[in-house]
Structure 1
Amino acid sequence: MPELPEVESLAEFLRDRAVGRTVAAVDVVAFQALKTVDPPISALGGLTVTDVSRHGKFLDLDCDGLHLVVHLARAGWLRWREDLSGAKPVRPGKGPLAVRVRLAPDELGLAPGFELTEAGTQKRLAAYVVRNPEDVPGVAGLGPDPLAEDFTADALAAILRGNRTQIKGLLRDQKVIAGIGNAYSDEVLHVAKMSPFKIASSLTEAQVADLHEAIVTTLRDAVGRARGLAAKDLKAEKKSGLRVHGRTGEKCEVCGDTIREVSFADSSLQYCPTCQTGGKPLADRRLSRLLK
């Protein structure tokens, strides 16, 4: 799933290539992906892309005040095309293509644009056409952005105070902190040397400071590594930069212990016992329930 660093990089990528260009047309192939009807998506035709920004994991293209807001969900991605003038029409229900945004031809006659695709059978990619990004329910309910200047250690302490949620789940909750998903929550907790099952309200002042530093540095480092990369290269870069997530059975780069995995909610998490849990493997609670 694209998380804050990848979506931030996609926003930068599109700012460099799409801002200042006119939208020729937007073709919706997967009708379930379009979540709004007013304004109609056809209203984007003829408008100029004036800015591209990010709200948590949402990508926002401002087209003369009308916004195309996209959430790539778990299996969605953005593919840039240098020339879509010869692109063949795609029938609904065929292949991974969900939405195609065609821009007006340039002085060379090339008509660039991008395609939103989604792999797998569970189709959750969502596109909205709104007058204000806050009209998108997921955007309106977002928590603070962890890369914003006002996301301080004190702000994080206020979020954690009295919260009995396990820290892993809290970091993934978009209504609490925007932009962090399953992968980067694993990375943050490894950097902070913290158990994913630790209760949020139990953190000491020093642990809150360490967690805040881990959040900010982990995300900023990931954004920095991805900066300047083509959209097609971002997935590989993300995977190569992860130290624990998706690396079950490999050696921890910090201590050499074996990275472990446990089931968590609707997914799984990875962690290092030596770095995070005092050398003790965590119990896989979902598996334990199945064995009873």
Structure 2
Amino acid sequence: MSAQLALGTYRCQAIPEAAARAVASGAQWIDTAPNYATGQAQTLLAPALAAHPALRVSTKTGYFTAATGADAVDAGVLTEDQAAAGHSLAPDYVRWQTGRNRAQLGRKRLDLVLLHNPERAHPGDRADLHRAIRGAFEVLEEEVAAGHVAGYGIATWSGLEKAFTVEELLALAGEVAGGQQYHHLVAIQLPVSLVMMTPIVQALHGQGPLWAAAGAGLRVMASAPLHGGELPTIVDQELADLIRPGLTPAQACILATASCPGVTDILIAASSTPHWKEATDAVTQPPLDTARLREITDVLASP
């Protein structure tokens, strides 16, 4: 079975309408962040979440808008210098932002809170970065214990390439929780596409973050499966037919990502009913087998 579709709101237009169409299409997850839609995404999603209590939501802590930074300074959880950076994993800020997320989304308990590009906190210094992640995980474990959060994880663009591994994240969570069997690190989010192919290639060889996450039973949310909408203009119909005859280039790209070992959710920013139907028709296809995925990545990797 291939991965399931979820609404990603980073590049999403008309968030309330997109949420309604995602629900109508059977999506079970919506992914957002406090800095999306110039800081308005969570408030815009609140009515849809109120109308559909079973709908699950993942949000983030890390990046923030200037207005949120000013509020954090007023609340005493960030200094002026920290607010000027636009990103923080400081424990007091993580705790404050998690509460703010709950208030804006209208949820007493968040399904998933992700550290947003944690590699941004201490670029180039793995030891300091890992200490910062550990401190943030400690706060999130406290939030789980308080009933405010069900689970946590990380959302990254490039951190899993050089700043940390899934195994290191699991070890940090285990340290905080007092053992690997007790922690609530449950998900990772990273770009997986026919442009960002490295995780796919690694997984096909039993390596890399997707393979490690699957082995640990983590939810894996694949972001940017269409590479910001650019990929269908790169993949021609001939390549789409190699992936699966009869699919459009966009559908072929989505199916390739959905078929990647370890991927559980595909984040798409579709806002129209036809786009949701196109994507839904893609993920309901039988997944590609390993041999076909290897053939596709070999073709794309060739000069």
Q: Which has the higher strand share?
A: 1
Pairwise same-fold verdict (TM > 0.5): no
Determine which structure has greater relative contact order: mean sequence separation of CA pairs < 8 Å that are 6+ residues apart, divided by chain length.
2
TM-score, reference length from structure 1:
0.30
Give the TM-score of the pair, scaled to structure 2. 0.29
Which of the pair is proportionally richer in helix? 2
